[in-house]
Amino acid sequence: MRKVKQISLFIFSVSVGLVFSELLLRKLTNKSFGLGTNFITERVYEHKGSVYRFDKDLGWSNQENLRLSDFKERPLGFQNVRQYFTLTTDEYGFRSSPNVWSVNLEPSSGLILAEGDSFTFGDEVSDDETWSTHLQAIKKVRVVNGGVSSFGLDQIFIKIQRDLPLVQPKVVILSVMGNTLKRTTLTHKISSPFCDTREKPFFVKAGSELRLERGVIQERIAERKLDPIRTIFGHSVILDSFFNSWFRRYWNCVPRESDYPMNLRTQQDYLEISCLLLKKILRFTEKSGVRLVVVGQAYWNPHGQRYARDKDIEAFLKCASNLSVPHLNFDSSLEGIFYEDSNRYQSLFFLGTHMTNQGNLVVAQEINQAFFKKNGNINTLK
């Protein structure tokens, strides 16, 4: 009987402690005290209709005319240091590159168009902290930010065809990550913790060329349900924080591109497809009288390990070299910083995710040094 009382007292004490901790954590993090809030779904900004919209050609694209101040973004499955920033887009959905330094922009020098995924768009930073805005200040010419988060090179190619007649740039900077290449073999994007999917365009090999599949995207409204474990445990801040830290990909249904189920993949070689896409992009830009340069950007490397260069980017840039396309491998600069000044290297990234303001400034400086001559004219590429 005494043992039963001890066990009951222990269970009661633990329960009271957990309830108190839950309430305290909610108070400290300004969370709702209501029981109806599931913190998994609350964290997802993409499905609140504030940033992205359906696009019949691309699958999704940026909303036009956004004016979001103190916008709170928590990337799916990652703990983010930076919680608040400003995000604005223009009437065409291009991310704003504000002239905050009041530099004298020289329209006679022409325009630079930046195309890529979230590292170009500038996830987790304000409009004035993207690498396109920093490059604009350095070059003193208008830089248009055409990045869209989670895009593959196939979508970027289609978007370039749309953007060039609109922007009429002199130079296109194509920024790619390893995942930008891997996404070319995905037929859908798993786009929320509900594990629902969005269709996207993709290409398949047809002889020595590429054939576009799913040229017109159908908008489908999926039934959004979490599995029982996440439905129940997602209502606790403590449990949500625990699973989000230790089992983030399951908890938020954000599989790596390489972990997508086979029925959402084309079974093509993504490097081969990417190199053929680069050839098509080059052909289109040359026909339009536009110079093309390629930047291979790099993911964060954790402290205390050897620096891991992205082999996919190296292979893709070899394709660029074979096509005589000017290119920059950002891994080369970052590897040096990684070993020479670890603290500086860590300051260039948000923990495990995108680049900070300082990181994007370094990207812009490297792009300027790699591709443009000192006279400031963007027509004089090195």
Residues 147-200 pLDDT 10s: 999 999 999 999 999 999 999 999 999 999 999 999 999 999 887 677 778 899
pLDDT at 48 > cutoff 60: no
Model pLDDT for residues 2-36, shown as the tens digit of each residue: 777 777 777 777 677 777 776 776 777 667 666 66
Per-residue pLDDT at 50:
66
Cβ-Cβ contacts under 8 Å for 17 (sequence gap 6 or more): none
> For residues 181 and 155, is the Cβ–Cβ distance under 8 A?
no
Per-residue pLDDT at 359:
97
Per-residue pLDDT at 239:
80
Instruction: Determine the average pLDDT of the residues in 346-364.
Output: 93
The candidate with the shortest Cα–Cα distance to 351, out of 113, 130, 79, 157, is 79
Model pLDDT for residues 64-121, shown as the tens digit of each residue: 999 887 665 544 434 444 455 789 999 999 999 888 777 777 665 678 999 999 999 9
Distances (CA, A) of 35 to 21, 23, 39, 43, 236: 15, 11, 10, 16, 9
The candidate with the shortest Cα–Cα distance to 107, out of 42, 21, 15, 169, is 169
Amino acid identity of residue 304, one-letter, is G
**261 vs 314: CA distance, rounded Å:** 26
Model pLDDT for residues 327-350, shown as the tens digit of each residue: 999 999 999 999 999 999 999 998
The candidate with the shortest Cα–Cα distance to 204, out of 139, 140, 269, 255, is 269
Model pLDDT for residues 201-228, shown as the tens digit of each residue: 999 999 889 999 987 788 776 666 778 8
pLDDT at 45 > cutoff 60: no
Helix (H, G, I), strand (E, B) or coil at 98: coil
**Between vectors from CA 11 to CA 9 and to CA 14, what angle results, nearest 5°?**
105
Model pLDDT for residues 261-294, shown as the tens digit of each residue: 888 889 899 999 999 999 999 999 999 999 999 9
Cβ-Cβ contacts under 8 Å for 90 (sequence gap 6 or more): 64, 65, 96
pTM: 0.85
- Top-confidence residue, 317 or 353: 317
